[in-house]
A and B are shown apart, each in its own frame.
Chain A
Amino acid sequence: MTIEVRNLVKTFGSFKALDGVDLKVDSGELVALLGPSGSGKTTLLRIVAGLDWPDSGEVLINGEDALAQGARERHVGFVFQHYALFRHMTVFENVAFGLRVQPRAVRKDEAAIRARVKELLDLVQLDWLADRYPGQLSGGQRQRIALARALAIEPRILLLDEPFGALDAKVRKELRKWLRALHREISVTSIFVTHDQEEALEVANRVVVMDKGRIEQIGSPDDVYDNPATAFVHGFIGESIVLPVEVANGTVRLGDRPLDLAAGGLAPGASRLFVRRHDMLVGPPGSGAFEGAIRHVRNFGPVQRAEVALSGGQTIEIDAPRDRELRAGDTIGLEPRRYRIFAG
């Protein structure tokens, strides 16, 4: 099943939640919508699900006009951030709900419903909780039940709105792996919304980065990390060192100091230099594009993080391997191994 969205616009009062969004999701993909809150990612998901309606634009599910149908007819599985389980029903009845409300003509008989629910509870590895009520489950268990409930109707597509947003860090990480494995197993076309870049990069086949109601970049996880298309993407995904620079006559200047960096055909004017922390290589004083004094050093797992006061006055944080000897007070040279310069 494919999903296609064309020129979608949605405003809430004076707030533009979606400002002309185009997106195509291929069959069997697992796509992450990634962006800060207010970027329009949840609105986009809800419009695809039929829980919200756009001001203009088109939504096609498998080539058919989805906007002609309500949420009920779209046959879309939706998983809510806060689970939205039916608290007065057992886990079993929650999962069975979508099967029990089907029109009589197509409804399965009781034995078939039981078999299907059992199958789904096995899939989410929670068959032993069938007789419990949602209030008796942990957050992670509830979200897996919510997923089983959404899958019960054999949805054409699966939409997940911040599925792990309400869970603690450890459970989130477990569920991420689990979701990816589950998707490999059932390979239903899926979109999930998240503001957590790690989650998007780890789980998705393709990442859609959104900001202020627009799509900033669509690409593979490697793509959006290694080749950010815009300053926003570079700043939002991964930790970046950002320095204000001036481009003039094909050279780059930091303050009044010329840097030995290629301007890459950028128009003259104020620009910003983006470098990943681990892409700043440490050398002896005088080597590299920058020079600075180490303020202090702390160990972060496999790397050490040093706060460096540049000779131009700016303070940056860099990551270096643990075996590189760095001491507070040392003067060092810094050379960006990779960098991007964006105008503005």
Chain B
Amino acid sequence: MSAVAARRRTLPGFGLTMGLTLTWLSVIILIPLAGLFLKSLELSPEQFWNILSSRRTLNALRVSFGLAFAAACVNLVMGSIIVWALVRYRFPGRRLFDAIVDVPFALPTAVAGVALTALFAEKGWLGAPLAALGIKVAFTPLGIFVAMIFIGIPFVVRTVQPVLQDLDPGIEEAAGSLGASRWQTIIRVILPSLAPALLTGLALAFARAVGEYGSVIFIAGNLPNVSEIAPLLIVIRLSEFRYADATAIAVVMLVVSFVIIFAVNRLQRWAQSRIPAR
């Protein structure tokens, strides 16, 4: 870039901020991740494949990604309903409920894990009636699912809330006066307008649930092949000094997570592109 062009730039500070951005991202994210990949290169492809195709690894990955996705979907539905209630209605205690949504952000995950375990254990407040129905939550995959829902919910709520707040109430009135039923208005007008935010919330809740460790290990029971999550398996391999095994699982988690989040991001961009800025 010529000196003249550089001087003409209306927004100064590009060089400085871009430099800081790259340095910071490198130190915090890229270099540790590169280390991870380098470490995994110590394995031959055959060893790599053997680790990944072992039954225990596959089951751990299935538990982690499967339950995280299921929990994110539940959070998407319930989070949207919570957002609707918080934004659209005025009721006593609304601000309190609004604040409570953030609790999973701040609570140490181990505390959440212990609390959920106590609650859903066979003699717990919720665990006892569920046990009477023959449903066991604590120390089963269902427990992992509950913990993942708990830690994911604020991501959906906080992403969708501002978008719903900004939604022009006129579009609902317009839909109504054009003859749309309440249901048609929600399906055809409100949900499509919220779609980009909903997808972002889904992706964030999913990413959080995949990476969750603290709360899950307390409630999971951690039975290999049944209720053992991939992050726990990594820790177990580390404690057995099988660093290469741990790295291989970590690499796969990283790649799969990245692919999924990137795909959701593209989907979200596509939905957004259909709603150009005013």
Whether B275 lies near A133 (C-beta < 8 A) is: yes
B228 to chain A, nearest CB (A): 43
Annotate A76-119 by CB proximity to B: 1 below 8 A, 0 otherwise: 11101011111111000000011011100000000000000000
Given contacts A101-B184, A135-B277, A88 and B179 within 8 Å (CB-CB)? no
Is A70 in contact with chain B by the CB < 8 A criterion?
yes
Is B176 in contact with chain A by the CB < 8 A criterion?
yes
Whether B274 lies near A80 (C-beta < 8 A) is: no
Interface residues of A in 50-90 (CB under 8 A from B): 50-51, 70-72, 74-78, 80, 82-89
Is A227 in contact with chain B by the CB < 8 A criterion?
no
Whether A86 lies near B177 (C-beta < 8 A) is: no
Contacts of B104 in A (CB 8 A): none
Annotate A146-187 by CB proximity to B: 1 below 8 A, 0 otherwise: 100110110000000000000000000000000000000000
Residue of B nearest to A81 (CB): B170
Q: In whole angstroms, how far apart are the Cα atoms of A78 and B170 in the complex?
A: 10
Contacts of A51 in B (CB 8 A): 173, 176-177
Q: In whole angstroms, how far apart are the Cα atoms of A98 and B177 in the complex?
A: 9
Interface residue range, chain A:
20 to 34
Whether A49 lies near B177 (C-beta < 8 A) is: yes
Whether A84 lies near B274 (C-beta < 8 A) is: no
A51, A83, A87, A100, most chain B CB atoms within 10 A: A87
Q: In whole angstroms, how far apart are the Cα atoms of A133 and B274 in the complex?
A: 7
Whether B174 lies near A87 (C-beta < 8 A) is: no
A97, A100, A149, most chain B CB atoms within 10 A: A97
Q: In whole angstroms, how far apart are the Cα atoms of A335 and B168 in the complex?
A: 53
Whether B178 lies near A87 (C-beta < 8 A) is: no
Annotate A313-334 by CB proximity to B: 1 below 8 A, 0 otherwise: 0000000000000000000000
Whether B176 lies near A153 (C-beta < 8 A) is: no
Is A299 in contact with chain B by the CB < 8 A criterion?
no
Is B192 in contact with chain A by the CB < 8 A criterion?
yes
Number of interface residues of B (CB under 8 A): 23
Whether A84 lies near B173 (C-beta < 8 A) is: yes
Main secondary structure of the interface of B (DSSP, over half): helix
Annotate B184-215 by CB proximity to A: 1 below 8 A, 0 otherwise: 10001100110100000000000000000000
| Partner pick for B188 among A71, A76, A101, CB 8 A cutoff | A101
Q: In whole angstroms, how far apart are the Cα atoms of A136 and B171 in the complex?
A: 18
A152 to chain B, nearest CB (A): 8
Contacts of A86 in B (CB 8 A): 171, 174-175, 189, 192-193
Q: In whole angstroms, how far apart are the Cα atoms of A121 and B186 in the complex?
A: 26
Is B181 in contact with chain A by the CB < 8 A criterion?
yes
Whether A78 lies near B177 (C-beta < 8 A) is: yes
Whether A71 lies near B275 (C-beta < 8 A) is: no
B93 to chain A, nearest CB (A): 23
Contacts of B189 in A (CB 8 A): 86
Whether B181 lies near A76 (C-beta < 8 A) is: no
Is B276 in contact with chain A by the CB < 8 A criterion?
yes
| Partner pick for A149 among B178, B188, B192, CB 8 A cutoff | B178
Q: In whole angstroms, how far apart are the Cα atoms of A101 and B172 in the complex?
A: 13
Whether B179 lies near A102 (C-beta < 8 A) is: yes
Please list 11 pairs of residues, one from A and one from B, whose beta carbons are closer than 8 Å in the complex, sorted by A's number. Answer: A70-B176, A72-B180, A75-B179, A76-B177, A85-B174, A97-B175, A101-B184, A133-B274, A149-B174, A149-B178, A153-B179
